[in-house]
Protein backbone atom coordinates (compact mmCIF):
# COMPACT_ATOMS: atom_id res chain seq x y z
CA UNK A 1 0.00 0.00 0.00
CA UNK A 2 1.39 3.33 -1.04
CA UNK A 3 1.06 6.56 0.82
CA UNK A 4 -1.13 8.04 -1.93
CA UNK A 5 -3.71 5.24 -1.67
CA UNK A 6 -3.84 5.61 2.08
CA UNK A 7 -4.52 9.36 1.76
CA UNK A 8 -7.40 9.05 -0.70
CA UNK A 9 -9.18 6.34 1.27
CA UNK A 10 -9.03 8.26 4.52
CA UNK A 11 -12.59 8.74 5.81
CA UNK A 12 -11.50 11.82 7.77
CA UNK A 13 -10.41 13.95 4.83
CA UNK A 14 -12.63 16.99 4.28
CA UNK A 15 -14.84 16.99 1.23
CA UNK A 16 -13.67 18.89 -1.79
CA UNK A 17 -15.83 21.93 -2.49
CA UNK A 18 -15.42 25.28 -4.11
CA UNK A 19 -15.34 28.04 -1.51
CA UNK A 20 -16.53 31.52 -2.43
CA UNK A 21 -18.54 34.37 -1.04
CA UNK A 22 -22.22 34.13 -1.87
CA UNK A 23 -23.31 36.36 -4.70
CA UNK A 24 -25.67 39.18 -3.89
CA UNK A 25 -28.98 39.48 -5.69
CA UNK A 26 -27.60 42.40 -7.70
CA UNK A 27 -24.93 40.08 -9.09
CA UNK A 28 -27.41 37.35 -10.00
CA UNK A 29 -29.39 39.40 -12.45
CA UNK A 30 -29.02 42.89 -13.82
CA UNK A 31 -32.13 45.05 -13.74
CA UNK A 32 -34.07 45.36 -16.97
CA UNK A 33 -33.82 48.56 -18.95
CA UNK A 34 -37.17 49.78 -17.57
CA UNK A 35 -35.91 49.66 -13.98
CA UNK A 36 -32.63 51.34 -14.93
CA UNK A 37 -34.56 54.17 -16.60
CA UNK A 38 -36.93 54.42 -13.62
CA UNK A 39 -34.11 54.71 -11.10
CA UNK A 40 -32.35 57.24 -13.33
CA UNK A 41 -35.54 59.34 -13.39
CA UNK A 42 -35.81 59.07 -9.61
CA UNK A 43 -32.22 60.27 -9.21
CA UNK A 44 -33.01 63.19 -11.54
CA UNK A 45 -35.99 63.97 -9.33
CA UNK A 46 -33.73 63.98 -6.26
CA UNK A 47 -31.39 66.34 -8.09
CA UNK A 48 -34.18 68.73 -9.04
CA UNK A 49 -35.44 68.71 -5.47
CA UNK A 50 -31.96 69.34 -4.05
CA UNK A 51 -31.36 72.18 -6.52
CA UNK A 52 -34.73 73.71 -5.63
CA UNK A 53 -33.95 73.61 -1.92
CA UNK A 54 -30.44 74.97 -2.47
CA UNK A 55 -31.77 77.93 -4.46
CA UNK A 56 -34.25 78.82 -1.75
CA UNK A 57 -31.71 78.36 1.06
CA UNK A 58 -29.23 80.65 -0.67
CA UNK A 59 -31.99 83.14 -1.40
CA UNK A 60 -33.00 83.24 2.26
CA UNK A 61 -36.53 82.15 1.37
CA UNK A 62 -36.66 79.37 3.96
CA UNK A 63 -36.30 81.75 6.90
CA UNK A 64 -33.98 81.75 9.87
CA UNK A 65 -35.36 78.69 11.63
CA UNK A 66 -33.08 75.65 11.66
CA UNK A 67 -36.04 73.26 11.43
CA UNK A 68 -37.29 74.57 8.10
CA UNK A 69 -34.26 73.51 5.98
CA UNK A 70 -33.88 70.22 7.89
CA UNK A 71 -37.28 68.86 6.82
CA UNK A 72 -36.64 69.11 3.03
CA UNK A 73 -33.18 67.61 3.54
CA UNK A 74 -34.73 64.66 5.38
CA UNK A 75 -37.19 64.21 2.52
CA UNK A 76 -34.32 64.23 0.01
CA UNK A 77 -32.50 61.67 2.16
CA UNK A 78 -35.57 59.44 2.28
CA UNK A 79 -36.12 59.71 -1.48
CA UNK A 80 -32.45 58.88 -2.07
CA UNK A 81 -32.65 55.87 0.25
CA UNK A 82 -35.77 54.58 -1.48
CA UNK A 83 -34.23 55.09 -4.92
CA UNK A 84 -31.13 53.17 -3.89
CA UNK A 85 -33.18 50.25 -2.54
CA UNK A 86 -35.44 50.25 -5.61
CA UNK A 87 -32.34 49.83 -7.76
CA UNK A 88 -31.39 46.87 -5.52
CA UNK A 89 -34.70 45.08 -6.19
CA UNK A 90 -36.36 45.77 -2.86
CA UNK A 91 -40.10 45.64 -3.36
CA UNK A 92 -40.79 47.28 0.01
CA UNK A 93 -38.97 50.40 -1.25
CA UNK A 94 -41.07 50.45 -4.41
CA UNK A 95 -44.31 50.18 -2.42
CA UNK A 96 -43.16 52.79 0.11
CA UNK A 97 -42.34 55.16 -2.74
CA UNK A 98 -45.83 54.69 -4.21
CA UNK A 99 -47.47 55.40 -0.85
CA UNK A 100 -45.39 58.53 -0.30
CA UNK A 101 -46.00 59.67 -3.87
CA UNK A 102 -49.77 59.37 -3.47
CA UNK A 103 -49.73 61.19 -0.12
CA UNK A 104 -47.23 63.93 -1.00
CA UNK A 105 -48.10 64.83 -4.60
CA UNK A 106 -51.14 66.97 -3.73
CA UNK A 107 -49.15 68.72 -1.00
CA UNK A 108 -46.47 69.87 -3.45
CA UNK A 109 -48.80 72.37 -5.03
CA UNK A 110 -49.79 73.89 -1.69
CA UNK A 111 -46.26 75.21 -1.21
CA UNK A 112 -45.75 76.56 -4.71
CA UNK A 113 -45.95 80.32 -4.51
CA UNK A 114 -43.88 81.28 -7.53
CA UNK A 115 -43.24 80.13 -11.07
CA UNK A 116 -39.76 78.68 -10.47
CA UNK A 117 -40.92 76.51 -7.58
CA UNK A 118 -44.01 75.39 -9.52
CA UNK A 119 -41.83 74.44 -12.52
CA UNK A 120 -39.51 72.43 -10.25
CA UNK A 121 -42.46 70.60 -8.69
CA UNK A 122 -43.96 69.82 -12.09
CA UNK A 123 -40.59 68.50 -13.30
CA UNK A 124 -40.28 66.29 -10.19
CA UNK A 125 -43.85 65.08 -10.62
CA UNK A 126 -43.35 64.17 -14.29
CA UNK A 127 -40.08 62.34 -13.55
CA UNK A 128 -41.67 60.39 -10.70
CA UNK A 129 -44.77 59.47 -12.74
CA UNK A 130 -42.54 58.17 -15.53
CA UNK A 131 -40.47 56.22 -13.00
CA UNK A 132 -43.63 54.68 -11.53
CA UNK A 133 -44.80 53.70 -14.99
CA UNK A 134 -41.53 51.92 -15.76
CA UNK A 135 -41.40 50.20 -12.35
CA UNK A 136 -44.95 48.84 -12.52
CA UNK A 137 -45.25 47.84 -16.16
CA UNK A 138 -43.66 45.19 -18.34
CA UNK A 139 -40.24 43.88 -17.45
CA UNK A 140 -39.95 46.19 -14.44
CA UNK A 141 -42.97 44.63 -12.75
CA UNK A 142 -41.70 41.11 -13.55
CA UNK A 143 -38.26 41.90 -12.14
CA UNK A 144 -39.69 42.92 -8.77
CA UNK A 145 -42.23 40.08 -8.74
CA UNK A 146 -39.63 37.39 -9.48
CA UNK A 147 -37.94 37.89 -6.09
CA UNK A 148 -41.17 37.25 -4.19
CA UNK A 149 -42.11 34.18 -6.28
CA UNK A 150 -38.71 32.51 -5.94
CA UNK A 151 -39.14 32.00 -2.20
CA UNK A 152 -36.02 34.03 -1.44
CA UNK A 153 -35.94 36.05 1.72
CA UNK A 154 -37.14 39.58 1.07
CA UNK A 155 -35.09 42.07 3.02
pLDDT score, position 95:
94
Q: What's the pLDDT at 143? A: 87
Q: Provide the residue-wise pLDDT of the chain in tens; the chain has 155 residues.
A: 555 555 567 778 777 777 666 555 544 568 889 999 999 999 999 999 888 888 877 776 555 566 667 777 888 999 999 999 999 999 999 999 999 999 988 877 776 677 777 888 889 999 999 999 999 988 888 888 864 444 444 44
Which H or E element spans position 55? helix 33-59
Q: What is the pTM of this model?
A: 0.70
Torsion of CA 99, 101, 102, 107, to 10 degrees: 130
**What is the 8-class DSSP label of residue 89?**
T
Look at residue 138 in the predicted model and tell me its pLDDT. Answer: 86
Per-position b or e across 63-84, b if 16+ CB within 10 A of its CB: eeeeeeeeebeeebeebeebbe
* pLDDT number for residue 85: 93
What is the per-residue pLDDT for 58? 76
Amino acid sequence: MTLRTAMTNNPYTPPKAAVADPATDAEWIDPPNEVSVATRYLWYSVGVSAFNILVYLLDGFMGNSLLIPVIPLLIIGLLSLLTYHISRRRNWARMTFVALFVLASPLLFLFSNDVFRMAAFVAMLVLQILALYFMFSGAGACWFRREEDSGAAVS
